Amino acid sequence: MIDVVIAGAGPNGLMLACELALAGARPLVLERLAEPTGEQRANGLVGQIVPMLDRRGLYERLADGPGPPRPTPGFVFGAFPLDLHDLPDNPLYTMLVPQRRIEQMLAARATELGVEIRRGHEVLGLTQDDDSVTVEVAGAPPVRASYLVGADGGHSVVRKLAGIDFPGVTRDDTVSRTAHVSVPAGLVEPDGGLRVPGFGVVPPFLHTRTERGLIAWAPMPGRDPLVSVGERRGSGADDDGAMTLAELRAAAARVLGADLPLSAPAGPGPHLLRRMVGGNTRLAAAYRAGRVLLVGDAAHVHSALGGSGLNLGLQDAINLGWKLAAEVRGTAPPGLLDTYESERRPAAERVNMHTRAQSVLIGPGGDVTALRVLLGELLESPLNRRHVAAMLAGADIRYAMPGADGPHVGRWAPDVPGLRALTRAGRPLLLDPTGGLGVGPWAGRVDVAVVPGLAAGMLLRPDCYVAWEGDTGDGLERALAAWFGAPAGAGCG
């Protein structure tokens, strides 16, 4: 019997497969599509997932050069430029990389770890009992597993088959148009900005708002640039028929009040030409139904503003992987799997909140402009800019760690010397500043590393969150048992 079947070979499903395999479980990935899609989706990673990939040894597989990631000096929030260069503890990381390349990297890593990925295998049904779940697959024999995880997107078949509701709100009053384009070379400024005669410069990789709508210009390195325009429905042409470049150019003219000369892209493609009407903000009523669980867009959907989607979904996978593997291996303490939803649901609620807030801030009209004036004044404060940056990064999350206390407890572990290498195996880790701490009968499950110079010892979960902190061993055994089960020789292996 398979340990875990994962429905969906997108980034979240593949990340979960890697984490399960690292933790000693046997996953199987089923993907409906026979081949990876060439459709243009996300254009990069934003948030804590960037340094987390580095701690798994995966960042350099996507980066253009060696070395750890560095915080970004600037970003955008609700079409406000977010200057972060003066923050001494800037928490926000970004990485420009297309989603298909992320999927390629994670698929290669999963294969290295012995994960089987079956493409062209569509999930049609499921039945479950107290011990297993049986997955019906189109054109193939059923698969029996201990658990099934739906990583199959916002229209998740697994979620529907499990009977999990997906409440939320749907908006149909906006329309966004996005395409790969070519623009006259003379309009591109040395810093990458796009000079539009009659309007001014549209800065690169930021949202530019007017009282008529929103425009973004993204001169992607090594690829055709993207232009995206958002406005209220009914502002121009109707939304019927195939999207055209002329439609995008007309929308840009309405938003900017000036003509933006656009032509077909010069590169080989695939080329994006997409119109999207409205959007959804939804959150699954539960992340688990018996032996069926949800990750990523199967559990939550929201606006793409701020680029938080992959950060949220991939962090779901990293949170769930080690917990589900412990359940499969029989070493999980009671209630461990329930902490997946109790920890990750608030993170999704927070992303839903700030993406909806950004949707209001980019809207047209004078009332929104007045609101933006006020918020712009607040963002002059470094404290407020850091607050927003941490929110966008997901770095402001603090999980409950009962019985443990300390400045880092419940938070993502700070960088310490050697941590990048120590966390690649995805195992629990005790950082010991003196060599006087130990994990006793948990030695088979928890690694120990002596790191001189630390202010205090720290016990890290596999997802790099601090479960215990202290100068002595007081409370350490309680934390070990709470997160990693009864010690060897006490009824667990």
Return d(Cα 237, Cα 231) in angstroms, integer: 11
Return d(Cα 14, Cα 27) in angstroms, integer: 10
Residue 38: the pLDDT is 66
Residue 43: the pLDDT is 79
Q: How many Cβ atoms sit within 10 Å of the Cβ of residue 44?
A: 18
Render pLDDT for 273-306 as a digit per residue (tens, 0 to 9): 999 888 899 999 999 999 999 999 999 999 988 8
Residue 119: the pLDDT is 97
Find residue 353's DSSP bridge partners: none
Query: CA triplet 355, 256, 171: central angle to 5 degrees?
Result: 30
Return d(Cα 412, Cα 415) in angstroms, integer: 9
pLDDT at position 164 over 50: yes
pLDDT at position 492 over 50: no
Residue 268: the pLDDT is 80
Residue 239: the pLDDT is 64
Residues listed for the chain = 493
Share of the chain above pLDDT 90, in %: 83
DSSP letter assigned to residue 415: P
Residue 67: the pLDDT is 82
Residue 304: the pLDDT is 87
Return d(Cα 26, Cα 4) in angstroms, integer: 6
Nearest to 299 by CA among 4, 13, 2: 13
Specify the 3-state DSSP secondary structure of 462. coil
pLDDT at position 64 over 80: no
Residue 421: the pLDDT is 94
Residue 238: the pLDDT is 60
DSSP letter assigned to residue 191: T
pLDDT at position 127 over 70: yes
Share of the chain above pLDDT 70, in %: 98
Structure tokens at 20: 């399960």
Contact present, 210 and 236 (Cβ < 8 Å)? no
Please give the single-letter amino acid code of residue 350.
R
pLDDT at position 327 over 70: yes
pLDDT at position 335 over 60: yes
pLDDT at position 80 over 60: yes
Specify the 3-state DSSP secondary structure of 112. helix
241 band by pLDDT with thresholds 50, 70 and 90? confident
pLDDT at position 475 over 90: yes
| ω into 270 cis (within 30 of 0) | yes
Residue 179: the pLDDT is 93
Residue 329: the pLDDT is 96
Residue 491: the pLDDT is 44
Long-range CB contacts (< 8 A, 24+ apart) of 315-319? 315/48, 315/49, 315/52, 315/344, 315/347, 315/394, 315/463, 316/12, 316/344, 317/12, 317/13, 317/15, 317/16, 317/19, 317/151, 318/15, 318/19, 318/52, 318/462, 318/463, 319/343, 319/344, 319/463
pLDDT at position 77 over 70: yes
Provide CB contacts within 8 A for 249, sequence distance 6+.
Answer: 259, 260, 261, 262
pLDDT at position 42 over 80: no
Specify the 3-state DSSP secondary structure of 460. strand
Detail the DSSP E strand segments found in 197-262: 200-202, 207-210, 213-218, 226-232
Average confidence score pLDDT of the chain:
93
pLDDT at position 228 over 90: yes
pLDDT at position 490 over 50: yes
Contact present, 80 and 376 (Cβ < 8 Å)? yes
Residue 40: the pLDDT is 63
